[in-house]
Amino acid sequence: MTARTEHEERTGESAPPPRRRGRHPVATVVSVFGELLITAGLVLGLFVVYSLWWTNVLADREATKQGHTVRDRWAGGPGALDTKDGIGFLHVPSMKNGEVLVKKGTDTENLNNGTAGYYTDPVKSDLPWDKKGNFTLAAHRDGHGAKFHNIDKVKTGDAVVFETKDTWYVYKVFEELPETSKYNVDVLQAVPKGSGAKKPGRYITLTTCTPVYTSKYRYIVWGELVRTEKVDKDRTKPAELR
């Protein structure tokens, strides 16, 4: 039989259960703050996954769809080049990014759909078939297709090929600029400043953000046209792409 307490002997009533101590206010605040940090971390993690992975998935799907539209239009037979849905495809083997549809303009709508765009401002781009000038392009480095993610792998001497309905334009990289101000529009000039080019020619300029996962600066690659090839009925790729 359990021994009775002094309270029970005196009053004949059972002793009240021991009172539980309340939680210290500081401990409560720390606990709530910790939970908020965990929640914030989960939200941030999901945002990173969305920004750097899911946007790539969506952009690649859309770019593939748009690319098929352009090729279907090309397959329609002879006729003037229709540039409404895109002017052609960029191929840069050292970037390992497959083919990249190129459209008019560097606005968000274009670039976020996994394509590259040629500049219309602040310096208007020349086009590959122009007799002289600078074909200037931009694409995302991270997220939204990240078509220029591996731009740092492109080195002097590498091939850059642009494909249109009836012509392959083969360029050779002659200079890279790993970092410059995003306000440096001189890199887009017909004779691009900073590239070492001294006279008018037929150039191509690739631009994107740097460092990776930021948009603080711009990374630039310049190439010069070395030859063109007519597209045959089988669309046989030039040697640089085989």
| CATH classification of the domain holding 165 | 2.40.260.10
For residue 190 the two structure tokens come to 């017909």
Residues of the chain with pLDDT under 50: 1, 45-47, 49-50
- C-alpha distances in angstroms, 158 versus 105, 147, 168, 173, 213? 26, 17, 16, 5, 25
Q: Strand 116-118 and strand 99-104: pairing?
A: parallel
Q: Which of 91, 144, 149, 209 is catalytic?
A: 209
**Is 149 an active-site residue?**
no
At 126 the pLDDT is 98
At 110 the pLDDT is 86
Q: Is residue 138 part of a domain?
A: yes
Q: Is residue 197 part of a domain?
A: yes
**97-106: pLDDT as tens digits:** 899 999 999 9
What would you report as the CA-atom Rg of the chain, rounded to the nearest whole angstrom? 30
**Is 209 an active-site residue?**
yes
Three-class SS state of 199 = coil
Q: Is residue 12 part of a domain?
A: no
**130-175: pLDDT as tens digits:** 999 999 999 999 999 999 999 999 999 999 999 999 999 999 999 9
Cβ-in-10-Å burial (0-12, 13-18, 19+) of 2 comes to exposed
65 phi/psi in degrees, rounded to 5: -60, -45
- C-alpha distances in angstroms, 167 versus 108, 115, 120, 128, 228? 28, 20, 23, 10, 7
Q: How far apart are CA 60 and CA 146, in angstroms?
A: 9
Cis peptide before 25 (omega within 30 of 0): no
At 85 the pLDDT is 82
- The pTM assigned to this predicted structure is 0.79
Note the residue count of the chain.
Answer: 242
Q: Which of 68, 91, 140, 144 is catalytic?
A: 140
Q: How far apart are CA 72 and CA 229, in angstroms?
A: 21
Q: Is residue 179 part of a domain?
A: yes
For residue 168 the two structure tokens come to 């392959």
Q: Is residue 25 part of a domain?
A: no
Q: Is residue 45 part of a domain?
A: no
Q: How far apart are CA 196 and CA 174, in angstroms?
A: 9
Q: In the chain, how many domains are there?
A: 1
Q: How far apart are CA 54 and CA 69, in angstroms?
A: 23
DSSP structure string for 25-43: HHHHHHHHHHHHHHHHHHH
Range of the domain at 161: 53-76+85-241
Q: Is residue 16 part of a domain?
A: no
Q: Is residue 36 part of a domain?
A: no
At 156 the pLDDT is 98
